[in-house]
């Protein structure tokens, strides 16, 4: 199946299940105008993640990698009135764009963006002991850090927590020997704390998410 057909299938699904959304469109426009990398999740994936959060009944969500807030809007919309999304972002410029996008979407009261190296932030959160366990964790930051993000986020989880990692297929590059994401996938699959699977997703190419439940 060629890339053109993959794109057509993705657009077909989007046409069926994802409508126009002013807040999400504006978030993409603001991120682009601010010069942020255009690496956001797709509209279909956003709908998928929101459904997962709703189905799991998540009240506390941890997002590692905020960017412009596009995926965060999906997660925050899935939260109950007393829910919270804590999103970790390295770049203050990205965080400011995201905060404005959350505010325009009417979600500021449910979202806290914490700026800094996510590894250090996660380590501090785990060591301080003041954080309630998270019900859902979404990892979508620099790929080399995924193994450590996973280990640290599991210290902030509980039995039943849903853990999701993005970009784990990357057009098939994971099949290449020595690929960083392939090594992460092996760790994810063999970690005795998790019961999971990889779900392929399509845009103009095949990618996927790793999904697991903490035992």
CA distance 121 to 114: 8
pLDDT digits (tens, 9 = 90+) for 178-212: 888 999 999 999 999 999 999 999 877 899 999 99
Helix, strand, or coil (residue 204)? coil
pLDDT digits (tens, 9 = 90+) for 50-105: 999 999 999 999 999 999 999 999 999 999 999 999 999 999 999 999 999 999 99
pLDDT digits (tens, 9 = 90+) for 161-172: 999 999 999 889
pLDDT digits (tens, 9 = 90+) for 23-53: 999 999 999 998 998 888 999 999 999 999 9
Q: For the chain, give every domain's residue range.
A: 3-214
pLDDT of residue 202: 86
Which residue, among 132, 77, 156, has the nearest Cα to 109 in the 3D structure?
77
pLDDT digits (tens, 9 = 90+) for 123-137: 999 998 789 999 999
State the CB neighbour count (10 A cutoff) for residue 205: 14
CA distance 17 to 21: 12
pLDDT of residue 138: 98
Q: Give the global pTM.
A: 0.95
pLDDT of residue 150: 97
pLDDT digits (tens, 9 = 90+) for 7-25: 899 999 999 999 889 999 9
C-alpha separations of 16 from 13, 41, 46, 86, 90 in Å:
5, 18, 14, 31, 35
Q: Which superfamily does 3-214 belong to?
A: Vaccinia Virus protein VP39 (3.40.50.150)
Burial of 21 (0-12, 13-18, 19+ CB in 10 A): middle
pLDDT exceeds cutoff 80 at 1: no
């Amino acid at each position: 199946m060629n890339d053109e057909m993959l794109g057509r299938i993705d657009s077909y699904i989007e046409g069926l299940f994802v409508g126009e959304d002013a807040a999400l469109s504006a978030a993409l426009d603001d991120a682009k105008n601010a010069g942020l990398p255009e690496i956001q999740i797709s509209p279909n994936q956003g709908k998928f993640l929101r459904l997962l959060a709703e189905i799991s009944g998540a009240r506390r969500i941890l997002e590692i990698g905020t960017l412009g807030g596009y995926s965060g809007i999906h997660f925050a919309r899935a939260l109950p009135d007393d829910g919270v999304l804590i999103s970790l972002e390295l770049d203050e410029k990205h965080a400011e764009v995201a905060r404005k996008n959350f505010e325009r979407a009417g979600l500021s009261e449910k979202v806290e963006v914490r700026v800094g190296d996510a590894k250090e932030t996660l380590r501090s959160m785990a060591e301080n002991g003041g954080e309630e366990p998270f019900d859902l964790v979404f990892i979508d930051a620099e790929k080399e850090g995924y193994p450590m993000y996973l280990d640290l986020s599991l210290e902030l989880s509980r039995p039943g927590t849903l853990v999701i990692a993005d970009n784990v297929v990357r057009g098939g590059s994971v099949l290449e020997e020595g690929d960083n994401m392939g090594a992460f996938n092996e760790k994810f699959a063999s970690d005795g704390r998790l019961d999971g699977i990889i779900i392929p997703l399509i845009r103009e190419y095949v990618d996927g998410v790793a999904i697991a439940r903490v035992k």
